């Protein structure tokens, strides 16, 4: 078999990025139109979807390019200084190409910083400040709705492919990690009531979504701020708790017709209660946990102000695998954190050997304006960060390659993400989230496939990050 050249998931891919937004149908004649640039993580992409849904309901259209839009909204990211620079560049490009620009998102929490670089912008709002964005749009481009034509899709405006959707269950975070300023930008944990999340999920599934990607800043803490209140749902009740929510999401459709994937799950003790759900063949909750471990050495974790229980984490991982042998574990790590010694980094590599995580992303530490880690002593030189990143990724790649090689000969369900003009289908297994994990390619016999199909394949070849297979007879 000839392997498809080049994986779409190289090891340098930043794990904080959402898929590129997909804009919808062309606007009608005379319809006021807006451009949208959505940067950063999936949580920001959901914010963009909500903004466009509100605007679409008021009669606005969405333009796929700057020149055809009456104004442009730039939803910014402020996760790292490099992300801030990317946001400023996107604002500058929108100003150059269009001239009327409204800024929102995480970097919008620093309006003076933005206006210092781009004084011509029309307005700046912070993250999830939907009403203020609408006010700014109304001032720049008055609405002109046509109630006979401007019909809003039942699931709202989606910027992802039709077959998968992000489902945001909470805003904010109660952690005070020294390297992160997200709580300063997005505030403390604020969970949505369980029945509201489930209603949205049900609408998405009814509209044809085959995969729900559950996201938040801290998914395991969902409902803590609500004291795990009880909500009416169907003929019974459901707590605002990740265990109840996951169970009910997994019952929205048969397990062979729906995937439910959990992201950003901190390894709290109660996470172990989710694992039997993942092992239940009748529940659509995937055996997949995306857990931001960040590091493994207890001293580095303490300097990060993270829970320092790496040894217990290995015990938890072993317990999860004992209950659900098929579970996929994905995580992200930071190398070159201030004060990280060679011995601490080697400890991380040794931990990786023991943990044998399936999917791994890695950042080189960056200062972020306002983060407490900036003031820590003994910052690691850039060339040492790069060298450690390369060694870490070499380790992660070797583990990934061995794990994928062990899947050759297995039969598994995949979801079809794309079919190119040559008939090559790009798919994902249950072990692969969009954009951040690997792919499975089918390069023959794809004539009857459509994007969004869930099909059974036999794996016949493996690479460093991706698989190749044939449709099972």
User: Which residue numbers belong to the known binding site?
Assistant: 41, 77, 106, 173, 177, 180
Q: How far is CA 297 from CA 57, 275, 335, in A?
A: 50, 26, 11
**Three state DSSP letters for 71-96:** EEEEEECCCCHHHHHHHHHHHHHHHH
CA–CA dist 112, 405 (Å, integer): 52
CB-based contacts of 418-425 (< 8 A; 24+ apart in sequence): 418/451, 419/446, 419/449, 419/450, 419/451, 423/447, 424/4, 425/449
CA–CA dist 273, 285 (Å, integer): 13
Q: Is the dihedral of CA 469, 470, 471, 473 positive or negative?
A: negative
Q: Is 401 left (phi over 0), alpha (psi -120 to 50) or beta?
A: alpha
Say if residues 424 and 135 touch (Cβ distance below 8 Å): no
Of the candidates 44, 19, 42, 24, the one whose C-alpha atom is nearest the C-alpha of residue 34 is 24
Of the candidates 361, 364, 363, the one whose C-alpha atom is nearest the C-alpha of residue 383 is 364
CA angle 406, 409, 410 (to 5 degrees): 80
Of the candidates 268, 178, 171, the one whose C-alpha atom is nearest the C-alpha of residue 217 is 171
Say if residues 101 and 122 touch (Cβ distance below 8 Å): yes
Binding residues for [4Fe-4S] cluster: 41, 77, 106, 173, 177, 180
CB-based contacts of 348-351 (< 8 A; 24+ apart in sequence): 348/295, 348/296, 348/297, 348/300, 348/392, 349/391, 349/392, 349/395, 351/296, 351/297, 351/310, 351/314
Number of helices (H) and strands (E) in the chain: give both, helices first.
12, 20
If residue 138 lies in a helix (H) or strand (E), which one and from where to where?
helix 130-140
If residue 466 lies in a helix (H) or strand (E), which one and from where to where?
none
């Amino acid at each position: 078999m000839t392997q498809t050249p080049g994986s779409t998931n190289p090891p340098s891919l930043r794990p904080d990025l959402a898929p590129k937004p997909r804009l919808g149908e062309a606007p009608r004649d005379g319809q006021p139109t807006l451009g949208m640039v959505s940067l950063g993580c999936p949580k920001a992409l959901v914010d963009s979807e909500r903004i466009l849904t509100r605007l679409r309901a008021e009669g606005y259209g969405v333009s796929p390019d700057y020149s055809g839009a009456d104004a442009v909204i730039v939803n910014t990211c402020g996760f790292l200084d490099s992300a801030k620079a990317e946001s400023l560049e996107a604002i500058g490009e929108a100003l150059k190409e269009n001239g009327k620009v409204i800024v929102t998102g995480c970097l919008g929490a620093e309006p003076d910083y933005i206006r210092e670089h781009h004084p011509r912008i029309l307005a700046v709002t912070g993250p999830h400040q939907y009403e203020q964005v609408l006010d700014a749009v109304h001032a720049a481009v008055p609405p002109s709705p046509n109630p006979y034509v401007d019909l809003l899709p039942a699931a709202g405006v989606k910027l992802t492919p039709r077959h998968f959707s992000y489902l945001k269950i909470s805003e904010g975070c109660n952690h005070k990690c020294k390297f992160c300023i997200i709580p300063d930008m997005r505030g403390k944990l604020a969970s949505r009531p369980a029945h509201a999340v489930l209603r949205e999920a049900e609408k998405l599934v009814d509209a044809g979504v085959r995969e729900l990607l559950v996201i938040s800043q801290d998914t395991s803490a969902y409902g803590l701020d609500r004291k795990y209140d009880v909500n009416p749902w169907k003929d019974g009740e459901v707590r605002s708790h990740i265990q109840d929510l996951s169970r009910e999401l997994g019952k929205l459709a048969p397990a062979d017709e729906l995937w439910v994937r959990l992201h950003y799950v901190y390894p709290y003790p109660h996470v172990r209660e989710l694992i039997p759900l993942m092992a239940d063949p009748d529940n659509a909750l995937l055996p997949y946990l995306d857990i931001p471990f960040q590091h493994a050495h207890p001293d580095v974790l303490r300097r990060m102000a993270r829970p320092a229980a790496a040894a217990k984490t290995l015990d938890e991982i072993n317990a999860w695998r004992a209950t659900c042998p098929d579970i996929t574990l994905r995580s992200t790590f930071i190398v070159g954190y201030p004060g990280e010694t060679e011995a601490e980094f080697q400890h991380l590599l040794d931990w990786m050997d023991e943990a044998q995580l399936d999917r791994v992303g890695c950042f080189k530490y960056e200062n972020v304006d306002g983060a407490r880690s900036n003031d820590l002593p003994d910052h690691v030189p850039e060339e040492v960060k790069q060298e450690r990143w390369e060694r870490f990724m070499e380790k992660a790649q070797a583990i990934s390659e061995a794990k994928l090689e062990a899947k050759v000969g297995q039969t598994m369900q995949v979801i079809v993400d794309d079919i190119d003009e040559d008939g090559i289908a790009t798919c994902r297994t249950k072990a692969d989230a969009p954009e951040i994990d690997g792919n499975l390619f089918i390069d023959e016999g794809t004539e009857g496939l459509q994007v969004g199909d869930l099909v059974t394949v036999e794996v016949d070849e493996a690479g460093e990050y991706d698989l190749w297979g044939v449709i099972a007879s």
